A and B are shown apart, each in its own frame.
Chain A
Amino acid sequence: GESVGLHLPTLSVQEGDNSIINCAYSNSASDYFIWYKQESGKGPQFIIDIRSNMDKRQGQRVTVLLNKTVKHLSLQIAATQPGDSAVYFCAETPAPRRNQGGKLIFGQGTELSVKP
């Protein structure tokens, strides 16, 4: 079935280094993607989104890259800080949102651990 998956379940980086979290999606018709950060005991926190008509979008210390050719999404975090430690999920809409109402499908998540 359709799924959004992550290549690595855990990622450990040194404070100050850049982090790259990867995600593969299976539905080429997906047109909207969101990255979420989830800290222990909290709900998913919106980080950044990107639409399928773009291949890159930047936020504060974060960049999302979308490669539709290979159906790959990545989240880059610059100068990773201890506060960035969390589970990161990518989520996709499997069909045009105007028909599906914005339903998101989540992957299992990547746990990012930042070492001081």
Chain B
Amino acid sequence: EAGVAQSPRYKIIEKRQSVAFWCNPISGHATLYWYQQILGQGPKLLIQFQNNGVVDDSQLPKDRFSAERLKGVDSTLKIQPAKLEDSAVYLCASSRNPTGDAIYFGEGSWLTVV
């Protein structure tokens, strides 16, 4: 079974530029998550989707971050404009459903803002 796929793996941009990350969850997984992991810390939830609907986006900085999962499968996370403090790993994860199933992570998209 293929895991959670993410791209790009690495991205370097200047502050105030924009960037987009893509995620393809494990086949059949209805729940998709985006987490932000700053170096030396545990991942922090940004947004959670159930199919194509948002379940929780309370931690998403909506003035600059946006995410969508239009067809209930793939998802994109966008940052515009980027700030230096956005330098982090952006992890996509998925689970079969939100009640009682394990959550599996992709390898992450590493963002450096200079």
Query: From B97, which residue of chain A is reached at the shortest CB distance?
Result: A102
In the assembled complex, the CB of A24 is this many whole angstroms from the nearest CB of chain B, namely: 14
Give a binary string over B36-48; 1 marks a CB under 8 Å from any A CB, 0 the rest.
0000111111001
Tell me the nearest residue of chain A to B104, going by C-beta: A46
Q: Interface on B for A, CB 8 Å cutoff?
A: 4, 31, 40-45, 48, 50, 55-56, 89, 91, 95, 98-108
CB <8 Å contact, A101 and B107: no
How far is the CB of A26 from the nearest CB of chain B, in Å? 14
Option from B42, B95, B101, B108 in Cβ contact (under 8 Å) with A89 = B42
Number of interface residues of A (CB under 8 A): 25
Instruction: Name the A residues within 8 Å of B104 (CB-CB).
Output: 46
**Within A37-86, which residues are at the interface with B (CB < 8 Å)?**
42-46, 49, 51
State in angstroms the CA–CA spacing of A48 and B40 once bound together: 22
Residue contacts A-B, CB under 8 angstroms, 6 given: A43-B89, A43-B91, A46-B103, A101-B48, A102-B95, A103-B56
**B50: nearest chain-A partner, CB-CB:** A101
CB-based contact A97/B40 at 8 Å: no
Contact (Cβ within 8 A) A108 B41: yes
Q: How far is the CA of A86 from the CA of B31 in the complex (A)?
A: 27
Q: Tell me the A residues contacting B by CB distance below 8 Å.
A: 4, 32, 34, 36, 42-46, 49, 51, 89, 91, 97-98, 100-109
Q: Choose from A98, A100, A101, A109 the contact partner of B42 (Cβ within 8 Å).
A: A109
B4's nearest neighbour on chain A, judged by CB, is A43
Q: Which of B44, B50, B56, B106 has a CB less than 8 Å from the CB of A106?
A: B44
Residue of A nearest to B40 (CB): A108
